[in-house]
Amino acid sequence: MTKIINFQTDPSQYKHWKVEYDGAVANLFMDVDEDGGLFDGYQLKLNSYDLGVDIELADVVQRMRFEHPEVKVVVMQSAKDKVFCAGANIRMLGGAAHSHKVNFCKFTNETRNTYEAALADSAQNYICAVKGACAGGGYELALACNHIMLTDDSASSVSLPEVPLLAVLPGTGGLTRVTDKRKVRRDLADVFCSVEEGVKGKRALTWRLVDEVIPNSKFDEAVVARAQEMAENSAKSVVAKGINLTPLTREISEDAVIYSTVEVTLDRAGRRCTILIKGPTDAAPADMAALESMGDQSWMLRCARELDDAILHLRLNEITLGLMEFQTQGDPELVIAHEALMLNNPDHWLSNEVLKYWKRVLKRVDMTSRSLVATVEHGSCFAGPLAELLWSVDRSYMMLEEFDGDNRPMASLTLSAGNFGSYPMGNDLTRLQTRFLGTPEDVDTAQTRIGEALEAEEAEELGLVTYAYDDIDWEDEVRLFMEERASFSPDAMTGMEANLRFAGPETMETRIFGRLTAWQNWIFQRPNAVGEEGALQRYGTGVRGKYNMERV
């Protein structure tokens, strides 16, 4: 990969989206620049998208939360005539490496989940006004909105043509949301997902594919009215002003990516990297006014943004680094204090946004298809939100007792109330609940230890870390683990880890990332889709995909 994919952008750089703010309503227009693709070799016709388009959307969604808390309803719509969105660009997909396809789909899924959840998290409601063809990934954009309005102009339709047209799945939540969210009857869903042209007008409403069908001449008016009405009935508290998300300080060099609170060092030969998170150095802001006046510079927000960017950077730009090691350094009490300000002000919009953002970043870690390990060294600050990393990773190692020549404070970890509800995983359980699925009483025991600096022996006893090693064993054990890990098949690792990480009940989110994504990624490997004669490769040539007709 010669070109670095940059996940940082801002409205002045947008090529594909426009937002018009109108008090409590924001109009979000998709207007994809055909020639603005992230890579060469394809044109983003008919509002089709690639990763670059989605990076901008993710930025829009993020800024909507922090910079525009006054917005209660976001109306997603197309700025182009006759087409809402044609979905992911097929030529881009056809030309992309498997790893890129998978990471692209994962990121787009995360973005869909984020704006879908904005209603529950922040009472910011995304609704969708569909005019023109709304196909595949286009309909998936709409599905992640919580209210879909379709114009009845006897041409506009919604469709998921992936199966008949491309021999792949609507993999950005499409199949899952049709049945799980919209609760379309499964036989009708089967029909819907097998017809290229989709469903329009009244039938789309009867089949529950959309929430409203409106005569074309009244459509624009109806959308405005509905958005106003929803804004008026919104439970969202009135916030006068948001904060600015300024560009991150980030230095990318050959073997490191350095942010203000996060340092990533790359060990290409060892196929691994270390993500060091540095705790706050200053006292927590005194109150919410102080927090607000710091804008995006408070430690909690800065660290979340930087960690988020680091994970995305590693996922897309460093695909051979199969092991990510999390470390922290700093004062655990300060981490707890910074988090406490948020936990103690749950009704303040900004503390809510920061906590919800941490929830998303930690989910992003959960969803990262690399072997993850945390090493709890002396001087570390695995406390509150950072402690979550210990249960997000596949294994954790903690330093036991004093180490020769190491005068850093004794390794400890500190639980906070946040660990018992503020950062649920995709399965809607906390990481501790998921960890102790068979022994729920262990969660209760842990809860009685909130606020204590738990050293290695206790942490191991409580089941909060995998292993505690003393000075004698530490170096060898950690080295052996990392070397062993690096020797396993990356595919088997990804599969094993993804299965072990998400115990417990299924949610729509786990089904999207588990079932739908897994099937899609299987199909993405199969000749029927991606072989030289497969449908994805042949799309656009006029020659049909040749299928191996064996059922596997």
Partner 1 sequence: MDLINVSYDSQIPNNVGLSSDKKVLKALEKWHPGYINWWNDLIPQNFQDSMVYLRTAVSVDPKGWAKFDYVKMPDYRWGILLAPAVEGRTIPMGEHLGEPAWQEVPGEYRNMLKRLIVIQGDTEPGSVEQQRFLGLTAPSLYDMRNLFQVNVEEGRHLWAMVYLLQKYFGKDGREEADDMLVRSSGSDDSPRMLGAFNEETPDWLSFFMFTYFTDRDGKMQLESLAQSGFDPLSRTVRFMLTEEAHHMFVGETGVGRTIQATLDAMNKAGITDPYDIAKIRDLGVIDLPTIQKKLNLHYTLSLDLFGQEVSTNAANAFNYGIKGRYMEQRIDDDHKLQNDTYPVTSIKDGKILTEDVPALTAINMRLRDDYVRDASGGVGRWNKLIAKSGVQFEFKMPHEGFHRQIGVFSSVAVDPDGAIVSAEEWAKRQDEWLPTKEDGAFIQSLMKPCYEPGKYATWIAPPKVGIDNKPGDFEYVKLHMA
Residue 11 vs 215, nearer CB to partner 1:
215
Closest contact distance (angstroms) between CB of 35 and partner 1 is 9
Q: Which of 120, 155, 252, 256 binds partner 1 (CB under 8 A)?
A: 155
Task: Find residue 152's DSSP bridge partners.
Answer: 215
Q: Which of 31, 153, 406, 442 binds partner 1 (CB under 8 A)?
A: 153
Residue 218 vs 515, nearer CB to partner 1:
218
Q: Residue 333, interface with partner 1 (CB under 8 A)?
A: no
Q: Which amino acid is at 447?
A: Q
* Nearest alpha-carbon partner for 171 in 498, 529, 532: 529
Residue 200 vs 435, nearer CB to partner 1:
200
Residue 191 vs 290, nearer CB to partner 1:
191
**Which stretch in 2-10, 191-199, 469-477, 495-503 sits in contact with partner 1 by CB under 8 A?**
191-199
Instruction: Give the helix ranges, DSSP H, for 401-546.
Output: 431-435, 440-447, 456-461, 474-487, 490-501, 508-511, 517-523, 527-530, 535-538
Cα–Cα distance between 262 and 278 in angstroms, integer? 6
Query: Do 426 and 364 touch, CB atoms closer than 8 A?
Result: no
- Chain positions 267 to 296 lying near partner 1, rule: CB under 8 A, are none
The two tokens of residue 255 are 């073997």
The two tokens of residue 395 are 């294994």
Closest contact distance (angstroms) between CB of 211 and partner 1 is 19
Q: Which of 2, 253, 448, 541 binds partner 1 (CB under 8 A)?
A: 541
**Which stretch in 7-15, 168-176, 194-202, 441-449 sits in contact with partner 1 by CB under 8 A?**
194-202
Q: Residue 216, interface with partner 1 (CB under 8 A)?
A: yes
Q: Which of 542, 549, 550, 551 binds partner 1 (CB under 8 A)?
A: 542
Residue 188 vs 195, nearer CB to partner 1:
195
Residue 224 vs 340, nearer CB to partner 1:
224
Phi, psi (degrees; rounded to nearest 5) at 266: -105, 130
Query: Do 258 and 251 touch, CB atoms closer than 8 A?
Result: yes
Cα–Cα distance between 245 and 436 in angstroms, integer? 37
Instruction: Give the helix ranges, DSSP H, for 67-97.
Output: 90-95
Q: Which of 281, 421, 544, 548 binds partner 1 (CB under 8 A)?
A: 544
Cα distances (angstroms) measured from residue 540 to each of 90, 334, 537: 9, 57, 8
Closest contact distance (angstroms) between CB of 219 and partner 1 is 9
Which run of H or of E encompasses 229? helix 216-232
Closest contact distance (angstroms) between CB of 45 and partner 1 is 8
Binding string, 465-504, against partner 1, x = CB under 8 A? Answer: ----------------------------------------
Residue 201 vs 409, nearer CB to partner 1:
201
Residue 77 vs 419, nearer CB to partner 1:
77
Q: Which of 154, 407, 448, 487 binds partner 1 (CB under 8 A)?
A: 154
Closest contact distance (angstroms) between CB of 544 and partner 1 is 7
SS3 state at 22: strand
CA within 13 Å, CB half, 151: 23
Burial label for 404, CB within 10 Å (0-12, 13-18, 19+), is: exposed
Residue 215 vs 451, nearer CB to partner 1:
215
Q: Which residues of 199-221 are buried (b: 16+ CB within 10 A; e: fewer)?
A: bbbeebbebbbbbbbbeeeebee
Give ∠ CA 435-439-442 in degrees, rounded to 5: 80
Closest contact distance (angstroms) between CB of 522 and partner 1 is 24
Q: Residue 197, interface with partner 1 (CB under 8 A)?
A: yes
Name every residue whose Cβ is closer than 8 Å to that of residue 384 and which is 6 or more positions away in sequence: 335, 336, 338, 339, 340, 414, 415, 416, 418, 419
Intra-chain end-to-end CA distance of the chain, in Å:
34
Q: Residue 540, interface with partner 1 (CB under 8 A)?
A: yes
- Chain positions 372 to 411 lying near partner 1, rule: CB under 8 A, are none
Closest contact distance (angstroms) between CB of 541 and partner 1 is 6
Q: Which of 164, 424, 463, 531 binds partner 1 (CB under 8 A)?
A: 164
- DSSP string spanning 141-179? HHHTSSEEEEEESSS-EEE--IIIIISS--TTTHHHIII
Q: Residue 41, interface with partner 1 (CB under 8 A)?
A: no
Q: Residue 217, interface with partner 1 (CB under 8 A)?
A: yes
Cα–Cα distance between 25 and 491 in angstroms, integer? 45
Closest contact distance (angstroms) between CB of 36 and partner 1 is 13
Cα–Cα distance between 180 and 160 in angstroms, integer? 16
Closest contact distance (angstroms) between CB of 155 and partner 1 is 6
- Chain positions 313 to 332 lying near partner 1, rule: CB under 8 A, are none
Size of the site for partner 1 (CB under 8 A): 18
Q: Which of 10, 190, 196, 475 binds partner 1 (CB under 8 A)?
A: 196
Phi, psi (degrees; rounded to nearest 5) at 21: -95, 130
Residue 216 vs 499, nearer CB to partner 1:
216
Residue 31 vs 153, nearer CB to partner 1:
153
Q: Residue 79, interface with partner 1 (CB under 8 A)?
A: no
**Binding footprint of partner 1 on the chain (CB under 8 A):** 34, 152-155, 164, 195-197, 215-217, 539-544
